[in-house]
Amino acid sequence: MILLDTDVMIDVLRAYAPALGWLDGLGNAPVGLPGLVALELVQGCRNREEQRRVEKSLQNYKLFWPTAAIFTVTFLVGQQIDRRDWIPDG
């Protein structure tokens, strides 16, 4: 599963050729969106028409919503990176 970031989706929605080419190049690979990305895209709409267009485009993607477990793991990994515990001494 490939999850697309907000920046990539903005380029796709704007029909930016390199983004569309990259997305097309994924072939049959499953592609989805984090639910928070969908919320960001809708929040960024300037008017109702743009919102309708974005919402229609979002129907083409499976949305994935974070769970409490994902937030916990992300937080713990972030703590390890902050402490640099994961970098071996050279």
pLDDT tens, position by position, for the chain (90 residues)?
899 999 999 999 999 999 999 999 999 999 999 999 999 999 999 999 999 999 999 999 999 998 888 777 777 776 666 555 555 555
Ramachandran region, residue 2 (left: φ > 0; alpha: ψ -120 to 50; beta: rest): beta
Domain boundaries along the sequence of the chain: 2-83
Q: Exposed, middle or buried by CB within 10 Å (0-12, 13-18, 19+), for 79? A: exposed
The model's pTM is: 0.73
Within the chain, strands assigned E span 2-3, 31-34, 62-64
What is the predicted pLDDT for the residue at 82? 57
| Superfamily (CATH H level) for 2-83 | 5'-nuclease (3.40.50.1010)
